[in-house]
Amino acid sequence: MYTIVTGAAGFIGSNLVKALNERGVTEIVAVDNLKRAEKFRNLVDCEIADYLDKEDFLARLLAGRFDGGVDAVLHQGACSDTMETDGRYMMENNFRYSLALLDWCAQRKIQFLYASSAATYGGGHRFREERACEAPLNVYGYSKFLFDQIVRRRLPEASAQIAGFRYFNVYGPREAHKGRMASVAFHHYNQFRAEGKVRLFEGRDGYGDGEQKRDFVYVGDVARVNLHFLDHPEKSGIFNVGTGRAQSFNELAAAGVNSCRALRDEPAETLDALLARGFIEYVPFPDALKGKYQSFTQADLSRLREAGYDAPFAGVEEGVAQYVRWLDGHDAPAKDAGARHV
């Protein structure tokens, strides 16, 4: 029996493939779109049974080629560019494609685990998996929100697991291919390596310089949540996946700079000391992000904990240190790695 992972060459998908391998699972069908060919590097150290382009895969799936041969679908494939303005493409790729997979799994009673997003919440300050808290700011967030709405309608009658995960700000290994959409932690590492400093946005929306806060979650923790639900097919629903703790971009930057300095056996410094030495600087908030920016996110983990997931999540101090050590060992910066500030 196969486990299907869509978006398998992408950031979270490839970490899931690796995590499955680490528990001995190699009968994996990896599905992706390698128009950006450099993503193949994310699978070089992974073991899979087959690779299929996403369109070829869907055609084979609907033609019955996989009937009786699949035990679970981990659907991570999506366009995750929050600045994408082609709404028709976003809805076809993120909504319609997902709906076809959901229908196929439901008809065959196959576990369906999928990636949603904290972008469904938009600019609000309440992050519970409830309709009243949801107001996406861009078409990416809307595509995820609309699919979640379909799932909510299906859940009462579902005869097999449907589990959606609203990922907050994920960072960690295997994201270099994302370029400007890679995590802030990734860009900070490359900025500090190239320039000896990192850049943050000045204050906005009532927040001081660098004090906007996000729920930054390490990708290893994201993979563990997915595998927990894979092991518990009786658990269905839509769940936040974050740390449950908002941390400022200043904290993230300090963790990144101190982790880079630790590679050279240099001591950690306080934020004030890092600012005084010019290791962190602030830049104007870009006009293009005004009205489209989440200045605060913090996952409410109540439903996740109620579903039985009780493992701790790494804070930025621990997660970024681990990530910087991984980056130092792999040395694969994105082509435009210095382009994004926060």
Active site residues: 140, 178
Phi–psi pair at 14, nearest 5 degrees: -70, -35
* Size of the chain, expressed as the number of residues it contains: 342
CA distances from 325 to 96, 167, 314, 335, 339 (A): 39, 23, 15, 20, 22
Report the C-alpha gap between 102 and 75 in whole angstroms: 9
Please name the amino acid found at residue 159.
S
Containing H/E element for 248? strand 247-248
Q: Please state at what angle helix 97-108 crosses helix 54-62, rounded to 10 degrees.
A: 40
Q: Which two tokens stand for residue 43?
A: 């699978």
Report the C-alpha gap between 59 and 75 in whole angstroms: 16
Contacts of 81 (CB under 8 A, 6+ apart): 140, 181
